[in-house]
Amino acid sequence: MKALTFSSFGGPEVLEYIEVSKPELKANEVLVENKAIGLNFADIYRRKGNYHLKGQPPFIAGYEGAGVVVESKSDQYKIGDRIAYTDVPFANAEYIVVPEEHVIPISEKVDFSLAASVLLQGLTAHYLANDSYKVKEGETVLIHAASGGVGQILSQICKSKGAKVIGLTRSENKLQTILDTNADFALQLDDLWVEKVKEITEGNGVDVVYDSVGATIMDSFEVTKDTGTVVFYGMSGGDPVAIDPRMLMDTSKTLTGGDLWSYLVNHHERMTRANALFELIEKGFVKIKEPVSFKLSEGQKAHEYLEGGKSSSKVLLIP
């Protein structure tokens, strides 16, 4: 089979589209012919050598996709079943082995591109709004990187719960992307954003900040009201500073962390959360932008496109 691989760490130029051995099935596994594969920033970090990576060179990145079962050693799934997955390594290939516990069946109403576009980012947004902090009607929510994949879905989930949403982005030309998700305010992450948030909240602060930037953590606390919460779940802008517990005590503020893999611990959790996400999409509460697709053989171009910040929608690799 063909796969997008790399044998050394570096820029997009290290990626190679080569022939590799088709994986062999073990008990309770299915072989899936990929129809669409989600490309994520984590795959860029893996290519650079600064994120966890499974296997030996030539490495195959990717953890998210959708396709059709072509071989099965599972009693639960048969040849021809349409499935998706979001936490299975070696996805950047024509075929992938998926343990039955990680299989997420998809109906005919959910096309492969949608499933590969929404699961990783959508399930992240789902746990953030329901578990890391349970957003309630009437609350004010601040979302960093609101023009990104997680941010767009998180904004819509929070709005579906009746919250007021303030979205932040580094890029002025992505402010409209935030407003398109029905956010109430879209702000650029500049030297004035803290003051603008204080003006919007009339000095009261927000109930919760979702911070995936990291380096902004203290500013996030500054715009959070006393008894409010900061959810830290990413470091796209660099490592956060150390937090003084005395500050948390003096202001009764809460700092909590978030990671999707802490929640996708079994098949029931994957299915329950995925079904809830697809229901939000089906009912129109969450709308997903049309993805940008590249052939799997065009992996270098796809990585350059995503890494260059050119997309405001999901990037897919199509075998």
* Half-sphere exposure of residue 26: CA atoms within 13 angstroms, side-chain side: 2
Q: Residue 132 gets which letter from DSSP? A: I
Range in 27-36, 177-186, 238-247, 306-315 with the lowest mean pLDDT = 306-315
pLDDT at 77: 97
Supply the Cα-derived Rg of the chain in whole angstroms: 20
Give the C-alpha separation, 69 to 261, whole Å: 24
Write out pLDDT tens, residues 268-290.
999 999 999 999 999 999 999 89
Confidence label for 311 from pLDDT (cuts 50, 70 and 90): confident
Give the C-alpha separation, 15 to 282, whole Å: 37
User: How would DSSP label each residue in 63-92?
Assistant: --EEEEEEEE--SS--TT-EEEESS-S--S
59, pLDDT greater than 90: yes
Mean of the pLDDT values across residues 96-100?
Answer: 97
Mind listing the domains of the chain with CATH numbers? 2-119+278-318 (3.90.180.10), 137-257 (3.40.50.720)
Confidence label for 50 from pLDDT (cuts 50, 70 and 90): confident
Give the C-alpha separation, 231 to 213, whole Å: 11
Percent of the chain with pLDDT strictly greater than 90: 89
User: CA of 279: how far to CAs of 114, 146, 162, 275, 288, in Å?
Assistant: 13, 22, 17, 6, 13
- The alpha carbon of residue 39 and the mean position of all alpha carbons in its chain are separated, in whole angstroms, by 10
Confidence label for 44 from pLDDT (cuts 50, 70 and 90): very high
- Which range, 4-8, 233-237, 303-307, is most confident? 4-8
Mean of the pLDDT values across residues 77-89?
Answer: 96
Give the C-alpha separation, 190 to 169, whole Å: 9
Mean of the pLDDT values across residues 132-159?
Answer: 97
Sign of CA dihedral 260, 266, 267, 271: negative
137, pLDDT greater than 90: yes
Give the C-alpha separation, 278 to 14, whole Å: 36
Q: Is 230 helix (H, G, I), strand (E, B) or coil?
A: strand
236, pLDDT greater than 90: no
Mean of the pLDDT values across residues 243-265?
Answer: 94
Confidence label for 239 from pLDDT (cuts 50, 70 and 90): confident
Peptide linkage before 58 cis (omega within 30 of 0):
yes
Distant-in-sequence contacts of 260-267, Cβ < 8 A, 24+ apart: 260/87, 260/120, 260/123, 260/124, 260/127, 261/87, 263/123, 263/127, 263/131, 264/86, 264/87, 264/123, 266/101, 267/100, 267/101, 267/102, 267/103
Q: Is 176 helix (H, G, I), strand (E, B) or coil?
A: helix
- Write phi, then psi, for 29 (nearest 5 degrees): -130, 160
